[in-house]
Amino acid sequence: MKNLVILGSTGSIGRNALDIIDRNPGRFRIIGLTANRNAELLAAQARKYNPSYVALCDRTGLSILAESINPAKTKLIDAEDVSKLCSDSSVDIVLNAVVGFAGLKATAAALIAGKKVALANKESMVAAGPLLNRMAATHGGEIIPIDSEHSAIFQCLASGKRTEVARLILTSSGGPFFRRENFDGITPEEALKHPTWNMGPKITIDSATLMNKGLEIIEAAYLFDIPADRIEVVIHPQSVVHSMVEFIDGSTIAQLSKPDMRLPIQYALFYPERIKQDLVQFDFSKELRLDFYPPPKDKFRSLELAYRAVREAGISPAVFNAANEQAVKAFLDHKIQFKRIFDIVEETMNRCGLGDADTLEQIFTANSKASHIAGNIAAEFENTDKF
């Protein structure tokens, strides 16, 4: 029985993780559940799983939560104390499914406490990858990726030695606009319709801009300690091949499954064990098409900007991430056009400059500065663009 904390339990990853836990009774004890703002669902989860602790970031839902939990079994803690919860001696695994930079503190706290982190919060790794790797190495923590591409690479890497790896090939569905001529007139409602994956709004917009793939290039560079020029992106609309590793002898190992996030979540929770599942299976008696296309890099500047961020290193990946978070927010609020997301990220990187990212403090400062600059640039576009 492993003791588990789920950060972001009411989101898409959190709900899928609880489904995996339901399907494997007796394997996990839920120590803590946290959510951003869905108080009703968090309360329902607390009544079902009786975690020792719950926390809610958005204070407006606190009274709903406080009234509906069982105080004899579950204690309501402050959102500021979530890092303490992650490092509690009773906890074995922290599943971090927080959206955005907000997840970094908890990832760091868990790794410093030597925990296994099942990481869906890719922004932690993007903003602070080298630092988190050092924390894990120093304190015996471990990062197991939940991101489907990185889970795939993690599994493919078992086929050879690290010194035998030639390239990592990240697959991308291409999102809803891969074949679109230009990005004029795209509404948030259109961009929120993803062709193959059903996910939260931030990552769905990131998938439409391929900023998600940019974040994943950086995430892969840090998770697997490989130079970004040996990480490639290929468009694969069926989302069946989740990523590939090419070895120096010319063999390419791929990981395939139907697109269902419960599979990489299950893999991370049970790693190094593989568990029998009855969720999804291929039927090879029917035609199965797997298509691959080169990414249209000129249209999706997100990829080049991500390579630039890894090349510049230091705070640049954190700046890239912060600018994107602000740009996505402005787009979802109908303040800027879709195509401005690329401009905001690029211009923020230009204006922010370079710097070291050796401490959490430096990374938090870079995040604040870049968010501020990106917010200003978004406001400039809001004023000049009429749409």
Could you list the residues that contact Mg ion (CB under 5 A)? 147-149
Q: Which residue has the tokens 């193959």?
A: 196
**Token pair for residue 235?**
């468009």
Nearer to Mg ion, 259 or 296 (CB): 259
Nearer to Mg ion, 115 or 122 (CB): 122
CB of 118 to Mg ion, least distance (A): 14
CB of 169 to Mg ion, least distance (A): 14
Q: Which residues of 91-119 are buried (b: 16+ CB within 10 A; e: fewer)?
A: bebbbbbbbbbbbbbbbbbbbbbebbbbb
What gap in Å lies between CA 39 and CA 31, rounded to an integer? 18
CB of 167 to Mg ion, least distance (A): 18
Nearer to Mg ion, 52 or 204 (CB): 204
Nearer to Mg ion, 107 or 348 (CB): 107
Identity at 265, one-letter amino acid code: I
Whether 59 contacts 80, CB under 8 Å: no
Nearer to Mg ion, 31 or 305 (CB): 305
CB of 13 to Mg ion, least distance (A): 11
Nearer to Mg ion, 88 or 147 (CB): 147
CB of 264 to Mg ion, least distance (A): 9
Nearest-CB residue for Mg ion:
147
DSSP for 295-362, written as a single string: --TTT-THHHHHHHHHHH-TTHHHHHHHHHHHHHHHHHTTSS-TTHHHHHHHHHHHHH------SHHH
Closest by Cα among 6, 58, 64 to 32 = 6
Q: Which residue has the tokens 């938090």?
A: 364
What gap in Å lies between CA 242 and CA 255, rounded to an integer? 6
CB of 77 to Mg ion, least distance (A): 30
What gap in Å lies between CA 61 and CA 364, rounded to an integer? 27
CB of 216 to Mg ion, least distance (A): 6
**What is the number of alpha carbons within 13 Å of residue 169 lying toward its C-beta?**
19
Nearer to Mg ion, 9 or 212 (CB): 212
Nearer to Mg ion, 146 or 315 (CB): 146
Nearer to Mg ion, 147 or 325 (CB): 147
CB of 242 to Mg ion, least distance (A): 8
- Taking CA atoms, 183 is separated from 51, 165, 251, 271, 385, in Å, by 45, 37, 37, 41, 14
CB of 148 to Mg ion, least distance (A): 5
DSSP conformational letter for 72:
T
Closest by Cα among 235, 271, 263 to 157 = 271
Task: State phi, psi for 256 to the nearest 5 degrees.
Answer: -120, 145
CB of 197 to Mg ion, least distance (A): 8
**What is the number of alpha carbons within 13 Å of residue 79 lying toward its C-beta?**
14
Give me the count of residues in the chain. Answer: 387
* Alpha-carbon Rg for the chain in angstroms: 20
Nearer to Mg ion, 87 or 148 (CB): 148
